[in-house]
Amino acid sequence: MKEYRGKRKDNGVMIYGDKVEIGNQCWIVPHPELSESDDMTECHCSIWGFIEVIPKTVGQCTRFKDKGGVEIYEGDIVQMPFYWRYKDSGIDYEEEGYYEGEVVIIASAGVTIRNPIRYKYNLTNDTPKESAKLKQYRRLSAYITKIIGNIHDNPELYIPR
């Protein structure tokens, strides 16, 4: 299990393993077979195999996988489709689109998308159009979700709210 991931302080490579935090410093004890680093023998470990990482890049594994089988971590940016059918005043309505936002783990709500942007498809030309910035958490349905990046490697995808 890749419990945590974080970017190494010395070279920016994402590594996976167990997290150790002391004060404002953070280390990951890597699982060599699970890390993206090419050569774990030259890992510039600071203490007994611990590798210092940039604290703000550390994210916990949610234990969910997206629709492509990729593990989802805190800090991932995802797209989660929706389809609604409802009736209002006797009129049938349909809405289709997706939510996009950052994955976070909230103690009271579980794995969620923080303040997602809701995009609706324009039914005439099938292009998504931003329809709302939601100030809430949307529970993640991992099996239909697609990871499109993360807030550390793809800041252009992330619009903090």
- Asked if residue 50 lies in contact with residue 40, where contact means CB atoms within 8 angstroms, the answer is no
Q: What are phi and psi of 157, to 5 degrees?
A: -85, -15
pLDDT in tens, 138-158: 899 999 999 999 999 988 887
Any idea where the domains of the chain sit in the sequence? 4-57, 61-157
Amino acid letter, 18: D
Helix/strand/coil for 21:
strand
Q: What is the pLDDT of residues 21-39, one digit of tens each?
A: 999 999 999 866 544 554 4
Res. 41: pLDDT tops 50: no
With 0-12 / 13-18 / 19 or more C-beta atoms within 10 angstroms meaning exposed / middle / buried, residue 1 is exposed
Give me the residue label for tokens 């890597």.
30
Q: What pLDDT does 124 receive?
A: 57
d(CA 40, CA 60): 21
- pLDDT per residue over 63-114, tens digit each? 999 999 999 999 999 999 988 888 888 888 888 889 999 999 998 889 999 9
**Token representation of residue 40:** 């774990």
pTM of the entire structure?
A: 0.80
CA–CA dist 140, 99 (Å, integer): 10
Place of tokens 């070279």: 11
